[in-house]
Structure 1
Amino acid sequence: MKLVRFGAPGSERPGLIDAEGKLRDLSYHVPDITGHHLSDEALARIASIDVKTLSLIEEEVRFGPPISSVGKMICVGLNYTDHAKEAGLAIPTEPLLFLKGCSPTGPNDAIAMPPNATHCDWEVELAIVIGKHGLHIDQAHALEHVAGYCVLNDFTEREFQLNRAGQWTKGKSFPGFSPLGPWLVTRDEVREPGKLRLWLDVNGTRRQDGSTQNLIFDVPFMVAYLSQFMALNPGDIIATGTPAGVGAGHKPDPIFLTDGDCISLGIEGLGTQTQHIVAWEKRPKPWL
């Protein structure tokens, strides 16, 4: 299934994308899509609904983040061999972890740069959505704890991240820095999360073009590994890292985003996103 939330910010309704790619309204059956609706049992109940009985939404709508009330956003840094190489850093022997301290936004919402930001950068990532509580999960059963997968832009202000001391979280957590979606694709439709192509364009120029085959630590390993240090709960998100091609790694000189730029990104089978970058003073009102 492809589960979505659609409508104005703060007033999204649950829906799904049918076999013909059309949007159907789920709000008669579930009030929203939260961690409570991501268990295998809850997803099976949604899957059992006769899609033809769901109202067809034919007008153009905004897609919000496909999950409401997200719990933790846990990120894995330098998790692609090519990205570690472009950063000039050694391949990690254990996953490098940090937290992203902002709520997800819609996949096509504008991104407002923080005041005085000068080093805004892009990162297309595969996001794992947890559907079942787990602690000290056996790697052999790790995927049983996964509800599905999404596209994530792990948007970053590099000067905040690298030059302001401390953890990377500072550069990852400004409101709007986590576009998620357009939909949550349940794990039964993503048979091989380690073989997905992912890409990102800036102003029509391809900047990232990679594959999850180049992950240093794969999906089952990351789920099991993280559960050694913290409980994973339904609605938690794991951002799995980005391939080579970020602006900070561009040679001979880095490239950073500015007012008016446009980012387009996607992952095979998981949909696409488009965001326009706006200066802080041009941010949509009301802001997040």
Structure 2
Amino acid sequence: MKLLRFGPVGQEKPGILDADGNVRDVSAHVADFAGPTVSLDELEALRQIDPASLPIVNDPGRIGSCLANVPNFFCVGLNYAKHAAETGAEPPKEPIIFSKASSALSGPFDPVIIPRGSEKGDWEVELGVVIGRECLYVSEADALDYVAGYCTINDVSERAFQIERGGQWIKGKSAPTFGPTGPYLVTADEVGDPQNLDVKLTLNGEVVQDSNTSDMIFTVAQCISHMSQFMKLVPGDIIATGTPSGVGMGMKPQRFLRPGDVMEVEVVGLGAQRQETTAAE
């Protein structure tokens, strides 16, 4: 299934994309997509509904984040071999786990707002993983059984806040609109192998990131298993699994976001995003 949310900010309704590309309104069966409503059990119940029985939405308008909110927005740092190399970092021996404020979550076509004081805004196409059931102390072999689905994420970052201001990376990752997610939550059964997905980002029409999840240092299964040794993952949690080479910080000379820039972001099979940047008021 491809799940999505449509409508104005704060008034989104849950929908399903049918085989013909029509948006179907599923709000009679589920209030919204978030937390327990994207558990594996709830998704299985949705799967039993015939999409043809659902109302067609002729003009869905704005497409929001595929999740209304998230209990936790986790990220994995330096998880592509070529990206680690472009930053001058040694490949990590264990996954680098950090958080992004859940309030950064935004729609895939909403503007990205460059925050006040920002000098080094950056882009990061990432494969997003949504957890589908409580996950604690799981093995790598079983880890993918806990996945509800996958989505496209742009892990927008502010490198000066992240690196030059001390403390944890979360400060450079968490401004409002720094987490465009969606347009779809694609259930795991439709995705297949998460380690063979093309990822791509263009900036103002120029391809700057073009890679495949096969370049990950730690697989999705390894990341989930590793995290579950230290914390309990719950339904609706998102894990952004790292970005490939081609970020602005790694360019020579470095290149950063300015108002009016346009990012087009895609994990092939999971849907494409488009954001224009604007300055904070």
TM over 0.5: yes
1:43-82 counterparts in 2 under 5 A? 43-82=43-82
Instruction: List runs of 5+ in structure 1 lacking aligned partners.
Output: 282-288
Q: Which amino acid aligns with 1:191?
A: G
Distance of 2:63 and 2:159 partners within structure 1: 28
Q: Percent identity, aligned pairs only?
A: 47
Structure 1 stretch 26-35 or stretch 173-182: which is displaced more?
26-35
Q: 1:193 to 1:75 in 2, by over 3 A?
A: same
Answer yes or no: is the 8 Å Cα contact 1:119–1:158 preserved in 2.
Answer: yes
**1:39 to partner: Cα distance:** 2.4
Distance of 1:130 and 1:218 partners within structure 2: 15
- 1:33-71 C-alpha deviation (Å, 9 max, x unpaired): 122122222111111111111111111511111112311
Give the structure 2 partner of residue 105 of structure 1.
Answer: 106
Instruction: List runs of 5+ in structure 2 lacking aligned partners.
Output: none
Distance of 2:36 and 2:237 partners within structure 1: 11
Give the structure 2 partner of residue 286 of structure 1.
Answer: none
Answer yes or no: is the 8 Å Cα contact 2:74–2:100 preserved in 1.
Answer: yes
Give the structure 1 partner of residue 188 of structure 2.
Answer: 187
**1:22 to partner: Cα distance:** 1.3
Answer yes or no: is the 8 Å Cα contact 1:137–1:227 preserved in 2.
Answer: yes
Q: Which amino acid aligns with 2:125?
A: V
Q: Which amino acid aligns with 2:199?
A: L
Distance of 1:167 and 1:192 partners within structure 2: 32
Answer yes or no: is the 8 Å Cα contact 1:102–1:174 preserved in 2.
Answer: no
Please give the TM-score of this superposition, normalised by the length of structure 1.
0.96
Aligned length: 280
Q: Which amino acid aligns with 1:38?
A: V
Residue 234 of structure 2 aligns to a residue whose secondary structure is coil
Please give the TM-score of this superposition, normalised by the length of structure 2.
0.98
Give the structure 2 partner of residue 129 of structure 1.
Answer: 130
Answer yes or no: is the 8 Å Cα contact 2:7–2:61 preserved in 1.
Answer: yes
Answer yes or no: is the 8 Å Cα contact 1:3–1:16 preserved in 2.
Answer: yes
Give the structure 2 partner of residue 249 of structure 1.
Answer: 250
Give the structure 2 partner of residue 93 of structure 1.
Answer: 93
Distance of 1:143 and 1:270 partners within structure 2: 17
Give the structure 1 partner of residue 12 of structure 2.
Answer: 12
